[in-house]
Structure 1
């Protein structure tokens, strides 16, 4: 296999996909440039395999692996689905084992159902149904007090379940991260230089592990705090949001590298 000059890892919602419309059209020029250079684009999201497979196909990167459910699953090139997993049932059982005062303020996708997920995300009912096909993680909304939220997260941590803060939801899994899968995938391509792009706390490890990390502006959420690597230029921030910022950042890096 020819070593690519670069490999790109990217979050979706609020990063490559517009926060409100879920469109990636503003990033098409950079995506086409990456294709012409045969640079793999690895989608890395909290989305399910059922959601990511058609997005990957539509973008023209079905020959690259994808990181699903925040790193808990890996969708290999050409795969449209993953095998059965007991992780989701384990997470739901742990949630339901909690005292009512901790459990009640959290509404996971399993509680919201397709209609509730569509309302919370702005997805169509069809796409919301794909988001509900969870295998490895449970996103949801917290409506309780901050101190109870901390107790809630700590109670699940005692059962081996980790919390991750994303662009919209608080998500629970058995602990794998996007950065874990990133290292595995990069090695499979011969460990070329890497670019990682994201906008939320669940992207931080991935941004810091990349050769070039890019924090995409998202006016719909609090900006990420200053990260290790920003002072050296390893991590940069965009002024433009979502796919507009994504497009500008990728073209900037490719120009810097003479690609």
Structure 2
């Protein structure tokens, strides 16, 4: 593989690794943030429901009505109220809601948050505990959209990096091509010097080539003059 090809290959590998790494890191951080938010939401909702139930004066009908009204808002996957003796007094579960994100994405990056739990009491009397789990479909959808945004941003940055790489590779390629053309000109008997590039390594190469061409020019152009001087000197006769 040519030198330019190796440079392009390494540049492509770096861009791909940066793209994949950036998307993975952003996705993992966003997933942790959403899980934390969902866990806090479950805890806050459980505390709010426990406060509402504590105000129902231990009336089972009023407590059931309050929990049903909360569940019917559609924000919860499961609400369960467990009495102090361990029996389940209220349980409602909702089927999974549709996702904007693909199913394979939700399976590959599950968002798990602990259910919110709060104690329910009537004064000093413990009535039980309330357990609340919110739907996580919004979290998967938000994560999917975040991955899309991160991927688009990284793709734009990758294209900009590729353009910058093309400029850098061009600055390396042009002096090398001029050096090759200089060598071919030398084969044709033409003594051509080229401008020195800005890159230090290539500048040393071009400077050495120019110096060699200059010396060869002096050597080969000086030979006819020496031959003429030798021809002008009369040969000694015996």
Q: Which bracket does the TM-score occupy, shorter chain normalised?
A: under 0.3
Which of the pair is proportionally richer in helix? Answer: 2
| Higher strand proportion | 1
What TM-score, normalized to structure 2?
0.23
Larger radius of gyration: 2
